[in-house]
Every structure is written in C-alpha cells, then in structure tokens.
Amino acid sequence: MNVNLTIISCKLYTFRTKPLKEMDKQVSPEKELQEAAEKVQEKDVADIVEKQNSVETLIRKNSKLAKYLDDVKLLYSLLKDYMNGSYKTIPWYLIASITAALIYVLNPVDIIPDWIPVIGFMDDAAILSACMALVKIELEKYTTWKKANP
C-alpha cells in the first residue's frame, strides 16, 4: 500500500483510538467517508484500481460483504472509465468517495479490525453501504451510459 493509501486508511482508523468519552457522537460511516475522500488524489484512484482483484477476493470471501460484489465491480468499471477518459461527467468528490471506500475495505486495520470474529467486517459493510447511497444516482447515469457505450 502506498503512502497516500496508508494516510487515508489511517484517517478512517483514527477515531477508533480515542477514548469513548472523547468520541464525537456524530461519527458515522458517511462522515468518515467524506473526510477520507477529501484526502484522495488522482494517484490513489490508479492505485486502488490496480488492487481490484484483491478487493474483490476479500469481498467474495466474506459473508458480510459478499452482497456488495456486483456493486464493487460496477464501481471499478466506473473508476476505470473515469481514468481512461471515456466517462468524465462524474464529479470528483464521488470518484474520491468511491476510492476512499475501496481503500477502507482493503485495509485490515480500520475502525473494527477485520480479524475480530463476527464483527470485523461490519464497518467495511457500513462504509460500502454509505458509498453506494452517495453514488446511487450517478451509478444509474453511468449504467445507462455504459449500455450505450459498451
């Protein structure tokens, strides 16, 4: 994982290390995703696209995340079309949010570390769910565009 991906992953992880009494009661997957997305750079998009197989394998192997596999494949298709210049109508903050969510899923040390049995991937599912809600309308536009531009 390169330095930028690590920094973004650490940002998503930081609130977990605070004592409970210091935690902001407004912490939510949406807020964490937004804050991480603000730090995403173009290179991060390219880096996470290179890790598509790793992300998809991780999702496929985990029952809490498996329902997102088709969504993640669509997100990767969108990122690739964005990167190659064929689909540029999407706002940058959505590209950054998708990238941040995929980085989060790939990082095993996040809000709830992935190695904790039963609950380890619940935060990953929450981040993916928040991302999908955020990009829903754009994904519908992209799907229509993709059908017309195979």
Domain boundaries, the chain: 3-15+26-148
- Please report, for the chain, how many H helices and E strands are present, in that order: 7, 0
- Alpha-helical (H) ranges within 28-68 are 29-37, 42-50, 52-61
> Torsion over CA of 132, 135, 140 and 146, rounded to 10 degrees?
-100
State the pTM of this model: 0.79
pLDDT tens string 68-112: 999 999 999 999 999 999 999 999 999 999 999 999 888 875 555
How confident is the model over 10-30, as pLDDT tens digits?
A: 444 443 434 434 444 456 888
Report DSSP state, residue 19.
Answer: -
CA 80 distance to own-chain centroid: 15
Residue from 73, 49, 71 nearest 127 by CA? 71
